[in-house]
Amino acid sequence: MDFFNNIVSYVSGLGSLELSYMFVIAFMFTLAIIDLTVGVSNDAVNFLSSAVGSRAAKIKHVLIVAAVGVFVGASFSSGMMDVARHGIFDPSFFTFQNVMCIYLAVVISDVFLLDLFNSLGLPTSTTVSMVFELLGASFITALLSSSGQGLGMLNTDKAMTIIISIFLSVAIAFIFGLVVQWISRVIFTFHYKKNLGRKIGLYGGFASTAILYFMVVKGLKGSSIKTMLPLAVQELVFEDTTKFILCAFVVMTVLMQLLHWCKVNVLKIVVLMGTFSLAMAFAGNDLVNFIGVTLAGLESFQTLVANGGDINMTMGSLNLPATTNILFLIGAGAVMVYALFTSKKARKVLQTSIDLSSQQNEENDMFGTSSVARNLVRAVTKLVDAVTKNTPDSVKKWIAKRFAPLEEREDVAFDLVRASVNLVLAGLLIALGTSLKLPLSTTYVTFMVGMGSSLADRAWSRESAVYRVTGVVSVVGGWFITAGAAFIIAALVGTILNYGGIVAMYIMIAIVIYLLIRSHIAYNKKKTTEKVDEKMNVILKSEDQSEVWENLKAHTAETLTHTLTFSAEAYKKMFESFSKDALRPLKSTLIKIVEEKALMKKQRRSETRGLQRIDQQMAFERSTWYHLCTNSCQQMLNTLTRIGEPMREHADHSFNPLSKSYVEEFSPYCSDVYEVLNDINNIIATGDYTNAEEVSTRAKELKHKLANLRKEQTMRLHQSNGSLRMDFVYLNLIQESHELLSEVRNLLRGGNKFFALQVTTEAEPKL
């Protein structure tokens, strides 16, 4: 009760202007909580991907270990708060109103940037966001300031050091990940379970000692936990460091070797230790990104109240070292732990990172390909070939033997050796940056270490390299876009706040609240419309071959009927749009066809993996017909593209539209093709092939009619005095409609054989 009375007494003693700013601070704390949850959704990938990808433990156990690390790291992270207070600008040149404009602009910009990247499933950098938002907001505030100091109000040297360290960490992390993983793989090979022996004690001892050194000696040296340790421990750990490291290495090496002899998987222990340390480093390094600005705003407000409410007083007090209340740190840690266990967006970002570093050499075309990736892969391939030619055969044979893959593929993205390297190395680099008071991007470091180690492990085969490189380029490019977007958005918001003062602050707060609510509603609607592919989960995880086969049939039927439905609607829409000379629907349909091709390619790859998991004899009998069906679907989509492209080009150039006589002539054919596609769709969807022969005959007769129409149109071309361009487009429509019917007849035939209960021996179809 006294607590609430003190709050009421404190609020009643504030002036109207101070009260207005108090509500601004309250809003900043609300956004800070949102920022914490959104930020953890984005950054959980940093410390979860290795343990989850290698399946070092059940995911709930991994989350518990990570949660403890996050909570401990957050509780003792006050040393990094100075970056938000005076790392980018010199607060002694800025008034209270100036710094409030800067801090509010930062928190408003930050939530939207992070939420956008999380919704896209891309890991971005919370550190880059905060640094460039601070830089953008303080830059514009300095230009608008009446002090006349201009850019001299910014700590340009410190800001450049921070920015360079952030982007330099990309190259450093990738190179270290590549080199260290290559050495580790040479030592242990992929058959590491047979090659641990006495090496595992040394490896485990080194890894665990490295974690202790950087997390205790370096990472916690400047934190508040140091003062909580006994003096004797402080002297040993922080003063006589060499002795501490040697003792720790001996103890941990012996302990790890004993555990190995006791049949304990030491690599799993190292991975879980690394997960804990990386989660702790993340919280210690990145907590400033989420609450540092808000806490600096709170301290500025307290300074304002203590000095009579003069909003034009300068904020030189922010140059003093931060003394963050431990309750704020504990509260922030609790929010981060809650978000870690409940965030669904975190799973989406996590899957992106695991897919790009997976040892399974499958095409991952989520990002497609790019000319940069293709040229880079080609150049590196030529370089590797040149080095290989000049390497002695004995060396090549020895290395090839060390990198010989497992005969049976494990059901993991990568093994425990790579997972331990990823975690230990990333933890060391991040802890080093923390000890130097440089806010290294944990996302940059962990992601690039993972990419470097996957390259060293030869996970990027020639079949998947171009897709993975495109993915890496897309993610890293997204980080650079984040930097530019953060600077520009914060500068724009800062301009509005500087000119509008407290009124503009309240208007911006209202806009932010509206946009956040709308974003939340839109995201929930999107999630309800997205169906979890339960059948594919069963196909890829079930050990019951009959269950796999039943789900594979159902999944394949859904894929085929989806493609048929889309094809029928797209075909009809393109003809109707072209007959009305409507360009926009044509463009929209062609874009959707590209998306359908990508989806079809993805489904085919997944279903082919399903065929590998059913009875071998059945797979041999059915696979030919399955590939006939999927080839027909792909060719149908290609046919639609060939129909739509000439139409789009014709309409885009504003050439003469399709004549009324042609529209009237072809409309019945269009309706007949549409009906055939729908009838075949219904047959596959219901599994009732009783009328299959009758529908196939109708399609054949329609093909003959189109063939006659094609001959007639060809004769018109030689006799026409009208628009040849229009005549050619119309002829193309007739020809491709004929091809579309051929493909859909093949699809019906293949579906009949694939879904049949018995498969009789007959000649293979022409694919």
Does residue 355 contact residue 366 with C-beta atoms inside 8 Å? yes
3-state secondary structure of 56: coil
Separation CA 380–CA 431 (nearest Å): 32
Please give the pLDDT value at position 347: 66
765 domain-assigned: no
Tens-place pLDDT, residues 526-583: 665 455 466 777 777 777 888 888 888 889 999 999 999 999 999 999 999 999 999 9
Separation CA 45–CA 63 (nearest Å): 11
Check whether residue 512 and residue 547 sit in a common domain. Answer: no
DSSP 154: B
Separation CA 479–CA 124 (nearest Å): 6
Residues 6+ apart with CB under 8 A from 114: 35, 38, 39, 41, 42, 124, 126, 129
Check whether residue 120 and residue 191 sit in a common domain. Answer: yes
Least confident of 100-104, 338-342, 393-397, 622-626: 338-342
Task: Give just the sign of the alpha carbon dihedral 481, 483, 488, 489.
Answer: positive
Query: Taking Cα atoms as reference points, which of 43, 42, 50, 44 lies closest to residue 453?
Result: 50
Global confidence as pTM: 0.67
Cross-strand pairs, 314:
95
Residues 6+ apart with CB under 8 A from 309: 15, 17, 18
| Residue in this structure with the two tokens 């050439």, named with its chain if needed | 655
Check whether residue 468 and residue 380 sit in a common domain. Answer: yes
Check whether residue 644 and residue 671 sit in a common domain. Answer: yes
Please give the pLDDT value at position 476: 74
Q: Which residue type sits at 691? A: N
- Return the half-sphere exposure (C-beta side, CA atoms, 13 A cut-off) of residue 112: 20
Separation CA 146–CA 225 (nearest Å): 42
| Residue in this structure with the two tokens 């990172």, named with its chain if needed | 353
| Mean predicted confidence (pLDDT) in 330-337 | 84
Cross-strand pairs, 154:
89
Separation CA 77–CA 295 (nearest Å): 13
Query: Does 392 score more than 60 pLDDT?
Result: yes
| Mean predicted confidence (pLDDT) in 95-100 | 90
197 domain-assigned: yes
Tens-place pLDDT, residues 84-96: 777 788 888 888 9
Please state at what angle helix 465-529 crosses helix 96-120, rounded to 10 degrees. Answer: 100
**294: which 2 tokens?**
């808000």
DSSP 437: T
Please give the pLDDT value at position 737: 95
| Mean predicted confidence (pLDDT) in 43-66 | 81
Does residue 140 contact residue 418 with C-beta atoms inside 8 Å? no
For residue 690, give the CATH number of its domain: 1.20.58.220
3-state secondary structure of 755: coil
Check whether residue 474 and residue 569 sit in a common domain. Answer: no
Q: How many domains does the chain have?
A: 2
Burial category of 245 from C-beta neighbours within 10 Å (exposed 0-12, middle 13-18, buried 19 and up): middle
Question: Where are the alpha helices (H) located in 653-723, listed in sequence order?
Answer: 660-686, 692-719
Separation CA 440–CA 164 (nearest Å): 10
**362: which 2 tokens?**
């499958």
Query: Taking Cα atoms as reference points, which of 746, 764, 750 lies closest to residue 625?
Result: 750
Least confident of 128-132, 586-590, 593-597, 664-668: 128-132
**114: which 2 tokens?**
């992070």
Please give the pLDDT value at position 8: 57
Query: Does 647 score more than 90 pLDDT?
Result: yes
Q: Which residue type sits at 663? A: V
9 domain-assigned: no
Q: What DSSP string describes 599-633?
A: HHHHHHHHHHHHHTTS-HHHHHHHHHHHHHHHHHH
Task: Write out the residue range of the structural domain in which residue 633 sits.
Answer: 535-754
Instruction: Report which secondary-structure segment, H or E, holds 263.
Output: none
At residue 694, what are phi and psi to the nearest 5 degrees?
A: -65, -40
Burial category of 606 from C-beta neighbours within 10 Å (exposed 0-12, middle 13-18, buried 19 and up): middle
Please give the pLDDT value at position 760: 41
Please give the pLDDT value at position 79: 56
Check whether residue 683 and residue 731 sit in a common domain. Answer: yes
Query: Does 19 score more than 50 pLDDT?
Result: yes
Task: Give just the sign of the alpha carbon dihedral 78, 287, 281, 316.
Answer: negative
Least confident of 197-206, 227-236, 618-627: 227-236
pLDDT band at 316 (very low <50, low <70, confident <90, very high): confident
Query: Taking Cα atoms as reference points, which of 42, 40, 51 lies closest to residue 424?
Result: 51
pLDDT band at 744 (very low <50, low <70, confident <90, very high): very high
Check whether residue 572 and residue 424 sit in a common domain. Answer: no
Angle (CA) 381 382 387, round 5°:
100
CA distance from start to end of the chain: 80
Query: Does 724 score more than 50 pLDDT?
Result: yes
497 domain-assigned: yes
At residue 89, what are phi and psi to the nearest 5 degrees?
A: -135, 160
pLDDT band at 60 (very low <50, low <70, confident <90, very high): confident
Tens-place pLDDT, residues 159-182: 777 778 777 888 888 888 888 888
Instruction: Report which secondary-structure segment, H or E, holds 322.
Output: none
417 domain-assigned: yes
Residues 6+ apart with CB under 8 A from 745: 696, 699, 700
pLDDT band at 748 (very low <50, low <70, confident <90, very high): very high
Query: Does 762 score more than 50 pLDDT?
Result: no
Check whether residue 238 and residue 280 sit in a common domain. Answer: yes
Query: Does 352 score more than 80 pLDDT?
Result: no
Separation CA 151–CA 583 (nearest Å): 51
Residues 6+ apart with CB under 8 A from 444: 125, 127, 128, 166, 167, 169, 170, 173, 479
Query: Does 13 score more than 70 pLDDT?
Result: no
Separation CA 425–CA 270 (nearest Å): 12
Tens-place pLDDT, residues 653-687: 888 888 899 999 999 999 999 999 999 999 999 98
Query: Does 70 score more than 90 pLDDT?
Result: no
Check whether residue 664 and residue 564 sit in a common domain. Answer: yes
What does each C-alpha distance from 655 to 324, 580, 650, 659, 716 come to in angstroms?
70, 13, 6, 11, 19
454 domain-assigned: yes
For 162-195, letters b (16+ CB in 10 Å) and e give bbebbeebbebbbebbbebbbebbeebbbebeee
DSSP 226: G
Check whether residue 581 and residue 618 sit in a common domain. Answer: yes
| Mean predicted confidence (pLDDT) in 118-134 | 72
Check whether residue 172 and residue 276 sit in a common domain. Answer: yes
- Count Cβ atoms below 10 Å from residue 149 Cβ, excluding itself: 13
Tens-place pLDDT, residues 251-266: 999 999 999 888 888 8
Does residue 400 contact residue 186 with C-beta atoms inside 8 Å? no
Looking at 513, 529, 545, the residue that finishes a domain is: 529
8 domain-assigned: no
Check whether residue 205 and residue 115 sit in a common domain. Answer: yes
Looking at 476, 494, 529, the residue that finishes a domain is: 529
Looking at 468, 500, 529, the residue that finishes a domain is: 529
Query: Does 3 score more than 50 pLDDT?
Result: no
Please give the pLDDT value at position 525: 64
Tens-place pLDDT, residues 403-449: 887 766 566 777 888 888 888 888 778 767 766 666 667 777 888 88
Residues 6+ apart with CB under 8 A from 619: 611, 612
Tens-place pLDDT, residues 141-158: 988 876 666 677 777 777
Query: Does 67 score more than 90 pLDDT?
Result: no
- Count Cβ atoms below 10 Å from residue 634 Cβ, excluding itself: 17
Separation CA 574–CA 272 (nearest Å): 56
Query: Does 348 score more than 80 pLDDT?
Result: no
Query: Does 765 score more than 60 pLDDT?
Result: no
Does residue 637 contact residue 571 with C-beta atoms inside 8 Å? no
Separation CA 719–CA 134 (nearest Å): 72
How many residues make up the chain in this entry?
A: 767
Mean pLDDT value across the chain: 81
- Count Cβ atoms below 10 Å from residue 657 Cβ, excluding itself: 17
**255: which 2 tokens?**
């302990």
Tens-place pLDDT, residues 461-499: 666 677 777 777 777 777 678 888 889 889 999 999 989
What share of the chain has pLDDT > 70, as a percent?
82
What share of the chain has pLDDT > 90, as a percent?
20
Separation CA 245–CA 435 (nearest Å): 17
3-state secondary structure of 89: strand
Please give the pLDDT value at position 431: 67
Higher pLDDT, 232 or 9: 232
204 domain-assigned: yes
Q: To 10 degrees, the CA torsion angle through 36, 85, 93, 509?
A: 10
Burial category of 608 from C-beta neighbours within 10 Å (exposed 0-12, middle 13-18, buried 19 and up): middle
pLDDT band at 706 (very low <50, low <70, confident <90, very high): very high
Tens-place pLDDT, residues 209-231: 887 776 676 556 655 566 666 77
Q: Which residue type sits at 468? A: R
| Mean predicted confidence (pLDDT) in 741-766 | 72
Least confident of 204-208, 213-217, 717-721, 726-730: 213-217
Query: Taking Cα atoms as reference points, which of 78, 603, 97, 471 lies closest to residue 311?
Result: 97
Separation CA 631–CA 633 (nearest Å): 5
For 713-739, letters b (16+ CB in 10 Å) and e give beeeeeeeeebeebbebbbbbbbbbbb
| Mean predicted confidence (pLDDT) in 497-507 | 89
**618: which 2 tokens?**
């059945």
Query: Taking Cα atoms as reference points, which of 340, 471, 357 lies closest to residue 422?
Result: 357
3-state secondary structure of 690: coil
